[in-house]
Structures are given as C-alpha cells and as structure tokens.
Amino acid sequence: MASDVAVIVGVGSGLSAALARACAKRAMTVVLAARNIDKLSALAAETGARVIACHAVDRPQVDALFRAVGEIAVPSLVVYNASYRTRGPLVELEPAEVARSVEVTALGGFHVGQAAARQMLPAGRGSIFFTGASASVKGYAQSAPFAMGKFALRGLAQSMARELAPKGLHVAHFVIDGGISRGPGDPRGGRGVDGLLEPAAIAETYLHVHDQSRSAWTWEVELRP
C-alpha cells in the first residue's frame, strides 16, 4: 500500500531533487514530472521515484499525470516548481517568449493546482505548494516576463489558500529570495557561504510546512541565504 505520495512537477533544479530525496527519506512514494525526463534516471534510481513526462502547460498531459498518480493514491503533497523566463530590455522582448514565461510559470501552476485539488478535496486533506522567487514580490528591470509569471503564481496561491483552507487543503507559497546552489561546482560559489541557498535546507522547510498542524498553517514563507 502506497499511503503517502508526493508529486514534484518541474524537476531539474536542485530544489526538486532535494525535495525528492527528503520525501524518499521519510518513505513517501515520489512521482517526478517534468517536460524533459532524460536526465532524471539517476535521481529516480536514488529515490525510487516514478518518472512521468509531463509538459505542465498542456492540460491533457497534466490530467494524464494525475490519473497515473491517482492509480497509486491520492497525493498528500504536490509541489509546483516549473518556471520559464526570458530576459532583456523591455522593448526588445519577444512577445511569444513573454507569453511562454507566463504560461509555464503560472498557467502550468493552475493546471497542476486544479488537478491536485480535484483529487484531494474528497479526502479533505493534502498540501499544494508553489515555489516563488524574489521576482514574486518585486518586479526587477529587464525581467518583466518572470515578474508577470511569478506574481501571477502568487495570486493563484493566495486565492487557492483562501478558498481551500476551510476545506482542509494546505496551499502555501514559498518565496525563495536568492539563488539556489547547484552543488560544490557551482560557479556562483564565490558569493561565499551566505550567497546561495542549499536545496536540502529549503526542502526541510517545505516538509515542515507540510507537517504543520491545521491549527497553525503558513500560507507564505520567505527563505533567504
């Protein structure tokens, strides 16, 4: 019996891998969903995770993902980590790239959040977490598309939290306010010990929020290096 399933959408960053390891360590069944699953075999082997190809902006693929998940069990934790960004001077941005930034970063979050809520609501419990960034709360120059996507994802999370908390679902938004370390060889390591966030440390806070008693839920948390 697989009683405790975690679904992580948008694998690739160190955070998703750290979440997969942290969930596996507590004997959760892990499902990794990503558009490109070519590089996930090592992580899957390490965590015993099931890997499912899924482009989160394509609704039928999201529905298929959750049908597959549902055959295991109603998930207790769903995390949406996928994002896409294009950068540059505002006047030079490609409209199609801007649209893609909003679609992957925010609309994919809606698809996954809605599909997860549909499975969880009958059970009246489950956590749906969205990963934000500094750009979720502040629009930076030359980065309007990412701000649009991450602001929208935060609006989605707030709205879902307000609506679904009374029904037993814990929706939370995590503002990762800094760069995430990619490991020992990270070229940004020059920032020093305080320059980057360790994915494993972030994952611990995700799981703490997942563990919170319904009597004192966090809807949003900022994490800084």
- The residues in 45-74 that bind its own copies, with binding defined as CB under 8 A, are 59
**Residue 72, both tokens:** 């295991």
37 vs 217, beta carbon nearer its own copies: 217
Question: Which residue, 37 or 93, is less far from its own copies as judged by CB?
Answer: 93
Burial of 34 (0-12, 13-18, 19+ CB in 10 A): buried
Least spacing, CB of residue 8 vs its own copies, in Å: 18
Between helix 144-164 and helix 108-120 the angle, nearest 10°, is 20
Asked if 210 interacts with its own copies (CB under 8 A), we say no
Q: Residue 9, interface with its own copies (CB under 8 A)?
A: no
- Report the residue number, 69 or 106, with the smaller CB distance to its own copies: 106
CB atoms near residue 183 (< 10 Å) = 10
Q: Which stretch binds its own copies (CB under 8 A): 19-27, 37-45, 66-74, 201-209?
A: 201-209
Residue from 3, 36, 41, 205 in contact with its own copies (CB under 8 A): 205
How many residues make contact with its own copies (CB under 8 A)? Answer: 74
List C-alpha distances in Å: 42 to 31, 87, 114, 126. 14, 31, 30, 28
Using the rule CB under 8 A, is 3 a contact of its own copies?
no
Instruction: Report 159-178 residues binding its own copies (CB under 8 A).
Output: 159-166
Measured CA to CA, the distance from residue 190 to residue 187 in angstroms comes to: 7
Which residue's CB is nearer to its own copies, number 39 or number 67?
67
Q: Comparing C-alpha atoms, which of 165, 167, 169 is closest to residue 127? A: 169
Inter-residue contact 11 to 83 (CB < 8 Å)? no
Nearest distance in Å: CB 41, its own copies? 28
Q: What residues from 83 to 122 belong to the interface with its own copies (CB under 8 A)?
A: 89-91, 93, 95, 98-99, 102-103, 106-107, 110-111, 113-114, 117-118, 121
Determine the interface stretch with its own copies among 3-11, 27-35, 47-55, 199-207 (rule: CB under 8 A).
199-207
Cβ-contact 112, 59 below 8 angstroms:
no
CB 85 within 8 A of CB 136: no
By CB under 8 A, the residues from 129 to 158 that bind its own copies are 135, 138-145, 147-158
* Cβ atoms 121, 169 nearer than 8 A: yes
Extract the tokens encoding 19: 């979440």
Shortest distance (Å) from residue 31 CB to its own copies: 20
